[in-house]
Amino acid sequence: MLRRFGQVTVLLTLTFVEVPVILLTAFMLLLSFALGMVFLFPAQAMLIRRLAEQNRRLLRKWTGIDIESPYMPKPLPPVRQPDGMYRSDRTLYKTPRVPAWNDRWKWLLTDPATWRDALWLLLDPAVKLALVPLLIVLPERGLRVYATWSDLLLGATANSRLAGQVSHLRRTRNLAADSQAAEMRRIERDLHDGTQARLVAIGMTIGAVEQLLDTDPSAAKALLAKARDASSETLTELRRVIRGIHPPVLAERGLGDAVRALAMDSPLQVAVDVELPHRPDSPVEAAAYFAVSELLSNAARHGGARTAAVDLSSNGADLRITVTDDGMGGADPAKGSGLAGIERRLAAFDGVLALHSPPGGPTTVTMELPRVLPEHWTGDLPRLPRWKAAAVILLWATAWCPTFPQGLVAGIFKVFGIEEKTWFLALYMPEMWQWPVICGMIALGVIMHVLAIRIPATHNRERWMIQATPTKPWCP
């Protein structure tokens, strides 16, 4: 309880920071647009953003409510044109400094979250003042109500989430394209340095056979035997290249059996444990297979390992892969160990890679690909928590009181000079406080009504997003 009161004290104390910031940012905004000092606007917007982010961080720590950042993705750095210039609208610049500043200014100006932050900062002191009784009597519940109010203006919107998803898809698309290009270069290199060179050698051998066929049949026969052996080696190498593109066992029998076959061909002693109730889609299987192949190859070539273990399991719709080896450890993605390439493969499916490789070993790599396994949702979706349901009922049951009798009706009595005070709280206050209390009551009632609508609406949107989330991953 003392901890909660301390948190409430910190929250209310921040009001004394917000009021000067309101005055300062309002002055900077006036100078930016009234006097043309536009260079002040980014500083003003970022100052409010830092204060809003601090509010999100404190509420996340105190209440466990995670308020998503609603900001649009930052603009990409200016791209240099073939002529060496940088373009901003119709103007060309020799350096990227001015185009970058223009993009940043427009980003802050056109982002709706910038103005929602400003509105939150303007109203927040009044909201805190209205919630003082609840914060003092029930501090934990008061903090949650305040967190809900903060989420109303500081939380992510559908547009900001969509913009973030588009930006994320653009990044993953670029990573997938880079990974695909690297894979094509590898296949081209294998064909050029291996298969193509062997075929050229076979052709030269057959040409020599043609010249020796009449003059030295025994030498021609020996060269034909050599060409036959070379063709067999070429076929073996070609099959290896084909397996590197997409192993037939992977397409025919799935990820589990493909990894088992990979373990049999590995120079390590590999134990494979598979618990997959559903088979992933082909692109996911390919990414997982080649990731495991790369890790086992690294363990054998660079890690000095003798044994390894591969575990394929599921967590709902998530695929989890763990590869452990008894090598020397010390693996580092920055040293070109192939881990960066694996991360690019997994990024196309929102996958993540965790590495634990202390010097001396063992090395453990855990990969997780979310929502890639088929799973049929059967209505087992999160219901509205009891405390939220109770809060909604309480809000609907009490919101009418500050809105109408303590707010609107008291205001009507005040306007028409009716002396009857009855139970209107504002009319018992000193003259100078009556209108502020009336306005505060109306604002409190409106906020309570908005929260009563917002809480179930947000929950229903989350349910809908869970239902609408496709189980088939995006793949370029």
User: Is residue 345 a contact partner of residue 369, using CB atoms and an 8 Å limit?
Assistant: no
Least confident of 104-118, 128-142, 378-392: 378-392
SS3 content of the chain, % helix, strand, coil (to 5): 65, 10, 25
Poorest-pLDDT segment among 169-183, 234-248, 346-360: 169-183
pLDDT beyond 90 at 323: yes
Q: What is the mean pLDDT of residues 131-141?
A: 87
pTM for the structure as a whole? 0.48
Please, are residues 247 and 289 in contact by the beta-carbon 8 Å criterion? yes
> What is the arithmetic mean of pLDDT over 321-334?
85
**Helical packing angle, 431-468 and 386-398, nearest 10°:** 140
Cβ partners under 8 Å of residue 408, min gap 6: 442
What local confidence, expressed as pLDDT, does residue 218 receive? 82
Find out whether 135 and 11 touch, Cβ atoms under 8 Å.
yes
| pLDDT mean across residues, the chain | 82
Which of 101-105, 150-154, 321-325 reaches the highest mean pLDDT? 321-325
Q: Which amino acid is at 341?
A: G
Q: Considering only CA atoms, which of 53, 173, 70 is closest in space to residue 112?
A: 70
Can you give the pLDDT at residue 337? 56
- Work out the average pLDDT over 148-152: 89
**With contact defined as beta carbons under 8 Å apart, do 302 and 325 qualify?**
no
For 396, the 3-state DSSP assignment is helix
Closest by Cα among 290, 436, 437, 302 to 363: 302
* Percent of the chain scoring above 90 in pLDDT: 12
For the record, the structure tokens of 96 come out as 């990227």
pLDDT band at 309 (very low <50, low <70, confident <90, very high): very high
Helix, strand, or coil (residue 355): strand
Phi-psi region at 278: left, alpha or beta (left = phi > 0; alpha = psi -120 to 50): beta
307: which strand partners? Answer: 269
Token digits for 190? 């294998």
Q: Which segment, 36-45, 161-170, 336-345, is predicted with the most confidence on average?
A: 36-45
**Banded pLDDT at 460 (limits 50, 70, 90):** low
Q: What is the pLDDT of residues 175-209, one digit of tens each?
A: 666 666 666 777 777 677 777 777 888 888 888 88
pLDDT higher at 471 or 436: 436
The DSSP element (H or E) to which 458 belongs, if any, is: helix 431-468
**pLDDT attached to residue 462:** 54
Higher pLDDT, 224 or 464: 224
Contacts of 287 (CB under 8 A, 6+ apart): 345, 346, 348, 349, 351, 369
Residue 71 has pLDDT above 70, yes or no: yes
Q: Rounded distance, CA 445 to CA 127, Å?
A: 11
Measure CA of the first residue to CA of the last residue in the chain; give whole Å. 53
Report d(CA 146, CA 134) in Å as an integer.
Answer: 10
pLDDT at 91 (0 to 100):
82
For 265, counting Cβ atoms within 10 Å of its Cβ (0-12 exposed, 13-18 middle, 19+ buried), the class is: exposed
Of the two residues 102 and 175, the one the predictor is more confident about is 102
**Residue 181 corresponds to which tokens in the numbers above?**
């290009």
| Token pair 């609408």 in the structure block, residue | 468
Give alpha helix (H) positions in 302-381: 339-347
Range among 38-42, 80-84, 414-418 rated most confident: 38-42
